[in-house]
Structure 1
């Protein structure tokens, strides 16, 4: 947003210089000053673009406009009869709404927006002859009209920028609230929200959905033996592989407990589920960590109940997981007892 503003601001100064010269509103000295300010702001934009210090350059522009450009505009462009107070309001909307400031900087800037116009008004009252007036009412009307439409256009652009930034920050905050902070997968609440939404829409879905539950084998022992930092690495590594594999089959993955994970696929066949499970195992075996490959057990249940219940569905998937653990771990079972895991010596 700041780069865009710094890019277009000089053209506002150039336009003002041409307009003032053409209409005779100000003398040649101020026309030249506006042109030089435009060149200076061009330099600020270029430096911000090269150094990526957009907030710093935007703050510098605000200081330049507040303490130099607008006071000069007041002195050379009609004082209180001209459009300068309108420009003060426009600059305040940008500086206080878009520029990132520390608390003391914000207080100082607010004080500047209060004091500078006040001093200019008092100076005009005590020394009215310092301010050259308009040559005729028509010239003033033209200047105020053009300045108003120029200001309202910039204000609408600023409001659009604020709205886009708000929407972006809202999306980011919502996404962050839905994600597990360690793994980046959907958290417990968000994953259950996906299942609830599926339950609402399931009548219109011709294919059965599948729910898988995975649990890392002997994870507590890994944590106790190698430390929690290594345990976090294990969780992050497995989560990345699980997410990639789930997305390849049109599914979504979530972390719903310490070392427990779930995968939901809205449309799946038994053979696709078997392929997903074995692909995940091959990925884990092919990308071991410092203390070996990750081993896990899994359970899967299709949405086959006459009436939908998230708890019942999760319960069947969990029961299949516990059966896989009781059967020796490092394998996955369907809730009907069928084996999902292909022995390593028989995989393609």
Structure 2
């Protein structure tokens, strides 16, 4: 999968752009006003729909959409833009009430109550859990359910009910508060997480074409279960919905849970309001039935969301552990000085490549590289300079290996090695010569080198088609003998194991003139 920026990184980038944007007409400023212009009609529309639902349900505020929507928008925006969204939310609620014919003072008072709910939830939760607020994590979600869904909605419902009774005879205060409170709870608990996941970059992954059939299948299960339960008037079968809901939670996680709750809410409230479903068994008013439907949805929310958030936390922990394991596995197999593979990684890779070449009957080559007169380099230039020299040589080796299957490693001290799968002796000698010239071309000063005044390397090369009765170390032994022969012949050169006259006569071999680049 193509690497994508996490939601936290996207939010941080957005905050940086918003915070440092000037007041002039920059693209960021235009984006801000564009977002506001898009948000206002949407909030106005859903305020109107919320009022329409209440008028169709005998005055019960079945579900109030806009507070949850505005809250989810604000918690993902930079702090210095919050006041703009609070203002458009207030205006949207006020205008929606005015469209229905309510007096301005009543409309403005109700909108102010909603304003208190959103701003108090935003300020408290972002102070406790940081900004931007991540509703898919367990602790922020539990805080959201307690502060925004239970606490702030109670304050708003009390203020709204009290203000409404100043202008309209809407019955007992407690009944009005209860109807308002349950509708507000559902709106905040359903719409805030739903819009939050819609604004997350990763949400639409489950709607991409490869994942879409599975997603639709899992969403279909609770949808059809809810439809069947709420079209059956004879028996109270609401409990059948919960296994289907938990199936989605475990399969699609928090995004699926938020989307499913929304689907279940739409189906159950609509069918209940039109006189269908098990709640018709309640021998009471429609108001009472809708209140019970709201309580059912609240229980579903408080069941599904904590489980989904816990699963998100476990998934995040698993990814963190996998990343840490990969990091430490890399560190365990890497040489701390040069960044190449270390001796442990080299041994494991040589064994694996030997078995692979044995199975395919392909050649396997190894280069063994020695830094010429490195002790003299350390004595002359110091050990810190010696470390820099080794890092330069390691870089020259790694950058001149062009195949992904080739492995460069630090063998130990001033020795390096390269594993070349599928490489015969001629190709291996060519690669070795390229590495020797690359190191010499760096022209690292070394006055103690008998091959000249620059740092050079000697390379032993061996290649073979593995045999079942031979160990991988046999190839390494041949490579070591070739390196020893190259050093005996004057250093700064490449020698193949096959070019050694007699292994037992290496000490008697006459040195040749060193090869300079």
Same fold (TM over 0.5): yes
1:71 matched to 2:147? The reply is yes
Distance 1:139 1:36, change over 3 A: closer
In structure 1, the residue corresponding to 2:422 is in which secondary structure?
Answer: coil
Q: Which residue of the partner structure matches residue 499 of structure 2? A: 337
1:59 matched to 2:124? The reply is no
Q: Which residue of the partner structure matches residue 95 of structure 1? A: none
CA deviation string 1:279-310 (max 9, x = no partner) = 11221222223556430111122235642213
Structure 1: tracts of 5 or more residues without a match: 48-55, 91-132
2: CA distance, partners of 1:250 / 1:213 = 17
Distance 1:303 1:27, change over 3 A: closer
Q: Which residue of the partner structure matches residue 297 of structure 1? A: 458
2: CA distance, partners of 1:219 / 1:343 = 16
Q: Contact 1:238/1:294 (CA < 8 Å) preserved in 2?
A: no
Higher gyration radius (CA): 2
2: CA distance, partners of 1:4 / 1:27 = 33
Q: Write out aligned runs for 1:186-201 (5 A).
A: 186-201=341-356
2: CA distance, partners of 1:332 / 1:46 = 66
Q: Which residue of the partner structure matches residue 251 of structure 1? A: 406
Return the TM-score normalized by structure 2. Answer: 0.46
Q: Which residue of the partner structure matches residue 483 of structure 2? A: 321
Q: Contact 1:2/1:58 (CA < 8 Å) preserved in 2?
A: no
Number of equivalent positions: 281
Q: Which residue of the partner structure matches residue 108 of structure 1? A: none
The worse-fitting range, judged by mean Cα deviation, of 220-229 and 57-66 is: 57-66
2: CA distance, partners of 1:182 / 1:57 = 43
Q: Which residue of the partner structure matches residue 373 of structure 2? A: 218
2: CA distance, partners of 1:26 / 1:271 = 81
CA deviation string 1:308-331 (max 9, x = no partner) = 213332222111111111111111
Distance 1:58 1:282, change over 3 A: farther
1: CA distance, partners of 2:479 / 2:471 = 12
How far did residue 197 of structure 1 move?
1.3
2: CA distance, partners of 1:253 / 1:318 = 16
Q: Which residue of the partner structure matches residue 422 of structure 2? A: 267
In structure 1, the residue corresponding to 2:409 is in which secondary structure?
Answer: strand
**CA RMSD, Structure 1 to Structure 2 (Å):** 4.3
Distance 1:342 1:265, change over 3 A: farther
1: CA distance, partners of 2:497 / 2:396 = 24
Alignment match of 1:308 (pick from 470, 483, 489): 470
In structure 2, the residue corresponding to 1:256 is in which secondary structure?
Answer: strand
In structure 2, the residue corresponding to 1:254 is in which secondary structure?
Answer: strand
Q: Contact 1:6/1:58 (CA < 8 Å) preserved in 2?
A: no
How far did residue 35 of structure 1 move?
4.8
1:238 matched to 2:393? The reply is yes
Alignment match of 1:41 (pick from 59, 67, 75): 75
2: CA distance, partners of 1:160 / 1:46 = 33
Q: Which residue of the partner structure matches residue 175 of structure 1? A: 330
How far did residue 240 of structure 1 move?
1.2
Distance 1:315 1:159, change over 3 A: same
2: CA distance, partners of 1:66 / 1:148 = 11
Q: Contact 2:428/2:463 (CA < 8 Å) preserved in 1?
A: no
Distance 1:331 1:188, change over 3 A: same
1: CA distance, partners of 2:489 / 2:444 = 26
Alignment match of 1:228 (pick from 360, 383, 389): 383
How far did residue 27 of structure 1 move?
9.4
Distance 1:26 1:165, change over 3 A: farther
2: CA distance, partners of 1:69 / 1:5 = 25
Distance 1:228 1:152, change over 3 A: same
Distance 1:58 1:241, change over 3 A: farther
How far did residue 175 of structure 1 move?
1.5
Alignment match of 1:278 (pick from 409, 426, 433): 433
1: CA distance, partners of 2:431 / 2:50 = 71
In structure 1, the residue corresponding to 2:418 is in which secondary structure?
Answer: strand
Q: Contact 1:214/1:297 (CA < 8 Å) preserved in 2?
A: yes
How far did residue 141 of structure 1 move?
0.4
2: CA distance, partners of 1:46 / 1:2 = 20
In structure 1, the residue corresponding to 2:498 is in which secondary structure?
Answer: coil
Q: Contact 1:6/1:45 (CA < 8 Å) preserved in 2?
A: no
1: CA distance, partners of 2:414 / 2:352 = 25
Return the TM-score normalized by structure 1. Answer: 0.65
2: CA distance, partners of 1:271 / 1:257 = 26
Distance 1:270 1:138, change over 3 A: same
Distance 1:6 1:304, change over 3 A: closer
